[in-house]
Amino acid sequence: MRENGLVHIYCGDGKGKTTAAMGLALRSIGHRKPVVIAQFLKDGTSGECRFLGALDHVTVLAANPVGKFSFAMTDTEKDVTKNAIVRTFEAATQFAVREHAFLLILDEVCAAITCGFLEEERVLSFLQNKPDTLEVVMTGRDPSERLQAEADYISEICKRKHPFDRGIAAREGIEQ
């Protein structure tokens, strides 16, 4: 049984999956533990990424080269996005291993898999072969049964009510 380097999944349709992951990053940084954050289908410019990326012991990578939701992308844009996501996943995981990171956050990796931008086998292989000391957090909706089987923690965040349902867009400093 693993006691160090556990695997977390923060999933569900509610707001707060990324926020929970970034909170764990802050906790790790507070103990001077190196953190790698890879954001998939996001551009890395949210308030938390700007702040965390400016700190020592933190590396932030992002992969959303076309700046659109997957359903709004053309086939060409989807190809560009897929290539960027695969490169970002490889760069983040290799950097985390090489630099002996304490925590690796794969933000929206579940969506990257579901949208067909990243092969689940690639993620599973990494999880099964990662360093014993590396803690990994994955976020997103609808993680597969296979991803869930690799997790030591699964926290589901359930939406009961959200301003987006009333047409209120993401607000700077709150959702972005």
- Map tokens 């292989």 to a residue: 125
Count of the separate structural domains present in the chain: 1
**Each residue of 77-99: pLDDT tens digit?**
999 999 999 999 999 999 999 99
Look up the CATH number of the domain holding residue 25: 3.40.50.300
Find the domain containing 161 and state its range: 7-133+146-166
| pTM to 2 decimal places | 0.93
**Each residue of 104-147: pLDDT tens digit?**
999 999 999 999 999 999 999 999 999 999 999 999 999 999 99
Alpha helices in the chain (DSSP H): 17-30, 47-53, 75-98, 109-114, 120-129, 145-150
Domain membership of residue 44 (yes or no) is: yes
CA distance 127 to 14: 25
